[in-house]
Amino acid sequence: MPAVDDEIRADFLMEAGDLIENLGGQLVELESRPDDSELLNSIFRAFHTVKGGAGFLAITPLVELCHATEDVFNALRNGKRSVDAALMDAVLQAVDQVQAMMASVAANHVPQPAPPALIEALHGLLAVHAPEPAVVAVEKKKKKVKPAAPVDPDAISEDEFDALLDQMAEEKKSAKVAPVAAKKADDAISEDEFEALLDQMAAAKRVAPAEAPAASARSADPVAPKSAPKTAPAVAPAPASSAAPAETSVRVDTAKLDRMMNLVGELVLVRNRLKALATEAGSEVGRAVRELDFITRGLQGAVMQVRMQPIGKVFSRFPKLARDVARGLGKQVEVTLIGQDTDLDKNLVEALADPLVHMVRNSVDHGIEMPELRISRGKPAAGQLKLEARQEGDHIRITVRDDGGGIDPERVRTKVVEKKLMDAASAARLSHDECLQLIFLPGFSTKDQVSDLSGRGVGMDVVKQRILSLNGSATIESQAGQGSAVHLRVPLTLAILPALMIDAGARQFALPLAMVSDVFALDPTAVRKVGHWNVAPLKRENLRLIDLELWAGATDISGTRHVVVVMLGEERFGLIVRQVRGREEVVIKPLGATLRGLAGVAGATVTPQGRVALIVDVPGLVQTHSKPV
């Protein structure tokens, strides 16, 4: 890469990355709305902006590719080309190449040029539209005849018009030299004419900003004809004090945000400690601690909001992904995004990307039928895929829904027995909903043939394990012939966790409160053995028990004990504990080297009493106890 400041490169990658990330969804949307001029202009500006930044950094391959793609959209804007499948395929391939080139730039490597076949394909999209002969263009210029095209292909945008005004004003201010010195003597204008022209252009932009792009098309050459007025226009120029509004946002390194969140976490721990001590102190101390509690909660909420990102950052990549998968399978799909503005912690946004990719691929591959089959079933040829996000309290609910063939529970029941994931007797006792949840079993697949997309028995089990590791849950619902929906539920943030504090043996633990559904006193006489599980009756079902005290190394398990019922997806488990202390907000701290990777432990926190409490990893704990000893 050419020598360039790291900060400049980072700014380019951030700005261009945001533009390219949105392009996939915009391009797929363009297929259904090819006449949307605003959408066309937005896509054109995105490629133009990336090209400009790449040119500044001297990234020639990226400039050439963006320029070729930009020409295609210029033709679309001018009505010289229409949107079709060939055009969309070529442009989407160009987006993939741009992303690959930007990845190379991020690694400080020189990007490889785009494949010649892709550049030829982009140029070929314009080949059938021959440019206007030069002789005709000259004659039109002499006769002052306006071209018939709806928009001049050399027209500049409003942003470019603003930049031109700024540049002319700067040159006038610093040098006081008319920019027409290079023109012939008989075409030159005086400095007074130049100032009048500049004031006229600025006034016209203020009075009718909507007409600025059209005006810029007529005034691409900043040199005015000899008839330019020598007096100031009727509309007075704006006073010098009317400066552009100040920026309302600032970029911050995510490492600084993490540092800030860690400090807020430490403040929360001190707050909890003071609240515990305040009960032993006087009223004045208690009042001060309550005020500190109020301020801490406000600061905690403000910092968490700063860390929040819209889930649309992840959603925007899926229209293109679904289209690519569908075209590879000979299918048609339309993607609808709902709740893109729903905010959640930036770490969760990144963590949800891979699970959602699996879900979108599965919906297109397994769910949506071939066009001919859909038509025979009375459905439109194009399948409908919806991604929806909404906030529910302190959690986010994400749903991926398709209107495909759905899941046949009897086929699932048969497959799970064939793959020896469950015996026939146990499978026969499963209800409709329980059969559907078998989709999440490791090694399960309804595909008879292995392909690049599916059939290996990995995918949905990876989704569920990933969501469980985020203290969330994953469920599925489906009706044969009508479609399926996968629901994910994850917390808003991973930094501060509402927890139920419990004692087991001599240790204190924190259970994620979102998983807790009930607490009751244990009756030792009601416990019995079923397989390798100890179970206790709960609402007409057997609750599988895990003795947290024995797991923690306790030797004396006599006396009164309690069972905390936790939900893991649609399954219930009971954790036997000594005592339940109550609800508390805990700050998650990473484990040290000696405990890292320990099954059943997700992290640690500090209690108000100054003790270290381990945070229970419920999915890992259940997985460990599910294996027969």
pLDDT tens digits along 50-75: 888 888 888 888 889 999 888 888 88
In a domain, 25, yes or no: yes
551/244: higher pLDDT:
551
The whole-number pLDDT of residue 229 equals 42
Which residues on adjacent β-strands are paired with residue 499?
512, 584
Q: How many CA atoms lie within 13 A of 272 on its CB side?
A: 20
> 80 pLDDT band (50/70/90 cuts)?
confident
Mean pLDDT of 397-412: 89
The whole-number pLDDT of residue 402 equals 92
In a domain, 228, yes or no: no
> 138 pLDDT band (50/70/90 cuts)?
very low
Are 575 and 469 in a shared domain? no
Are 366 and 301 in a shared domain? no
Are 357 and 467 in a shared domain? yes
Task: Give the CATH number for residue 63.
Answer: 1.20.120.160
Are 470 and 335 in a shared domain? yes
In a domain, 253, yes or no: no
Q: How far apart are CA 98 and CA 27, in angstroms?
A: 14
The whole-number pLDDT of residue 475 equals 86
The whole-number pLDDT of residue 416 equals 83
Nearest residue to 519 via CA among 605, 469, 578, 604: 578
In a domain, 239, yes or no: no
Residue 497, CA distances (Å) to 235, 298, 381, 566, 603 in order: 61, 16, 46, 16, 11
Residues whose CB is less than 8 angstroms from the CB of residue 575 and which lie 6 or more positions away in sequence, other chains included: 502, 511, 545, 546, 548, 563, 564, 566, 616, 618, 621
The whole-number pLDDT of residue 25 equals 80
pLDDT at 592 over 80: no
What does DSSP say about strands 562-568 and 533-538: parallel, antiparallel, or unpaired? unpaired
> What is the number of domains present in the chain?
5
Are 612 and 602 in a shared domain? yes
Are 303 and 316 in a shared domain? no
Mean pLDDT of 22-28: 81
pLDDT at 81 over 90: no
Are 487 and 582 in a shared domain? no
Q: How far apart are CA 248 and CA 246, in angstroms?
A: 6
Mean pLDDT of 585-602: 74
Greatest mean pLDDT among 89-103, 188-202, 493-507: 89-103
In a domain, 243, yes or no: no
194/219: higher pLDDT:
194
**At which of 93, 127, 143 does a domain end?**
143
Quick check: 499 and 511 in contact, CB under 8 A?
Answer: yes
Percent of the chain whose pLDDT exceeds 70? 74
Phi-psi region of 506 (alpha: psi -120 to 50; beta: other; left: phi over 0): alpha
Task: Give the CATH number for residue 365.
Answer: 3.30.565.10
Q: How far apart are CA 325 and CA 463, in angstroms?
A: 19
Q: How far apart are CA 599 and CA 618, in angstroms?
A: 9
In a domain, 205, yes or no: yes
Are 53 and 111 in a shared domain? yes
In a domain, 164, yes or no: no
Mean pLDDT of 175-180: 41
Are 398 and 375 in a shared domain? yes
Mean pLDDT of 407-433: 83
Residue 602, CA distances (Å) to 45, 266, 470, 588, 617 in order: 46, 19, 10, 9, 5
The whole-number pLDDT of residue 371 equals 92
pLDDT at 509 over 70: yes
> 557 pLDDT band (50/70/90 cuts)?
confident
In a domain, 224, yes or no: no
Percent of the chain whose pLDDT exceeds 90? 10
pTM of the model: 0.59
Are 177 and 289 in a shared domain? no
Are 336 and 478 in a shared domain? yes
Are 582 and 448 in a shared domain? no
pLDDT at 141 over 50: no
Domain hosting 606: range is 496-625
Q: How far apart are CA 390 and CA 392, in angstroms?
A: 7
Residues whose CB is less than 8 angstroms from the CB of residue 211 and which lie 6 or more positions away in sequence, other chains included: 204
